[in-house]
Structure 1
């Protein structure tokens, strides 16, 4: 999805609202004064004076109001030139360790600081680099971090949650709690792990709700600094948890879900039984059955 952000005067905002009046639609976002659904794009006019175009024809529509398309890198920069919350999770694909979800609030004035640290998608950074800068990010950037331990993860799976709905619950709760701290985002982006339709379906079951609209975007951690920050903090949390859990069973627990995980799980089974795996691993993974076969 293309995003273009323009800073306009009150007079220009009024002119835009008049021009698109036939396309006006309701919005639950308290920071949006007017919202319009156009053909191939949406338009949001914020109380701050910023106007956000989103959709396939975002650049085309924004060009009517003085926007000049630049390189793709510049477009990405413009797309996050507003206070926003970004969320990401780490641990979903790992048999051992918990599930870490983080929501971070990043403002345009934070960008220089983040770039000076080399903030990027955590998948592109070494674990050593992540562990170095995560404490600096946690100190400087407003965020909400949640860690679901393997034991608790297994409990909620038994209660009827699945691998997707548990992430919906955690992302929603992290955003909800961060909003409770008083931050005022003009955009909320989740690194997409499911479709928007699926997200909304599971979201209906959650108690804590908020009015701000949420956008799910693929590879958001490489597009938005707010998501990248969450990705780094979540990765650091996951790694720390993996070490702590490994100390409980006297083993180095591998990340991921490969054959190495099967072998370590089998050794835990031999010494501690299923109780040991319940404390350290996500039991519904196929690794559990593979480890059980290795023990026999």
Structure 2
């Protein structure tokens, strides 16, 4: 790790010194330098966050209270926000210099930026990643996306600021990032879209959410491999016991080695897939809301139940079925008021789900191979 020490020593120049930022970055009269990222996210220890707060005060940053967070520090070219989750978000035209010349040498005590490949070389090697969005949302579709990365694609995704979609708080930014990712991976992605009608049909056929998810992930990976047959492996954010996905992959005829890992969104390919899935979910949810004549909220909380009841009041329970995942308990709570048959709670399904029963399932129209769209 001696190269990291050398890197830190090279970064010892004070970011806060006049004229230190964005100077001598290898610019050339022949070609301008590559644009540097303007957004960074780090997970810090509590003691590091307190050290950061104190150093920002000492350096004259304007310190403010942060709603749902710890603090916000504003400098001339950078904004630093620290959250209770221990995440620190750094944004602005001087963000890259701030990270390189101050945060890493003084707070983190390690060099990360620009050495991602050295710190995690496997992330840059050719592989695929898949993730889903919408499984916890009452309204809207289920989306599963898969993306491919290699040593050329991975750095471009990093430059875009690709990270786990849960860390991207703005829906608008998530949509924009998803559009940039499609370009960055040069078309090497697939998106499986299960609208509410097809989702409800397949849920009844599979009788289990994890088996449905496994089928969708296997389908997305199979579609991606048709574009890049040389892909050597894949990584999936783990959602069930390992054999569940393995059986689905076998049914697709895939011999691709697939690793299932909790919190796999830290991998660049899975993070890109996560953002692709979220962007597509948000677009589809907005279209459904436009068709329904009302805004459809995300999640499965009390505002969602309120919107579902309003939909039943306006357009009836059968219209609600076309917009939602009917095995959620929210459907029973909203539609039960007009006398619809209710399904029984599923023991392992948590507080939002109910099991599929003959009374809650419409007759299936096709087999497992039907999806609203496999977007490639």
- After TM superposition, the score normalised by the length of structure 1 is 0.71
Shift of 1:293: 4.8
Q: Secondary structure at the match of 1:164?
A: helix
Whether the 8 Å contact between 1:105 and 1:183 is mirrored in structure 2 is no
Q: Does 1:154 align with 2:188?
A: no
Distance change in 2, residues 1:107/1:203 (3 Å): closer
**Which is higher, the Rg of structure 1 or of structure 2?**
2
Q: Does 1:118 align with 2:164?
A: no
Equivalent in 177, 182, 189 of residue 143 of structure 1:
189
Question: CA offsets, 1:199-218, max 9 Å, x none?
Answer: 234555x3x22111111011
Distance change in 2, residues 1:257/1:75 (3 Å): farther
Pairing 1:50-129 to 2, within 5 Å after superposition:
77-125=120-168, 126-129=170-173
- d(CA) in 2 for partners of 1:291 and 1:281? 11
Shift of 1:161: 3.6
- d(CA) in 2 for partners of 1:75 and 1:140? 22
Q: CA RMSD in A?
A: 2.1
How many residues align? The count is: 224
- d(CA) in 2 for partners of 1:232 and 1:243? 17
- After TM superposition, the score normalised by the length of structure 2 is 0.56
Q: Secondary structure at the match of 1:159?
A: helix
Match of 2:263 in 1: 219
Question: CA offsets, 1:149-184, max 9 Å, x none?
Answer: 011111112223421111111100111111111342
Shift of 1:185: 2.0
Unaligned runs of 5+ in 1: 1-69
Match of 1:257 in 2: 300
Q: Secondary structure at the match of 1:280?
A: coil
Distance change in 2, residues 1:74/1:82 (3 Å): closer
The structure 1 segments of at least 4 consecutive aligned residues displaced by more than 4 Å after TM superposition are 73-76, 201-204, 293-296
- d(CA) in 2 for partners of 1:144 and 1:135? 13
Pairing 1:168-207 to 2, within 5 Å after superposition:
168-203=214-249, 206=251
Question: CA offsets, 1:44-75, max 9 Å, x none?
Answer: xxxxxxxxxxxxxxxxxxxxxxxxxx99x778
- d(CA) in 1 for partners of 2:183 and 2:153? 13
Question: CA offsets, 1:211-241, max 9 Å, x none?
Answer: 111110111111x100011000100000001
Match of 1:45 in 2: none
Looking at secondary structure, tell me which structure has more helix per residue.
Answer: 1
Unaligned runs of 5+ in 2: 1-110, 340-376
Whether the 8 Å contact between 1:270 and 1:295 is mirrored in structure 2 is no
Q: Secondary structure at the match of 1:198?
A: helix
- d(CA) in 1 for partners of 2:160 and 2:247? 38
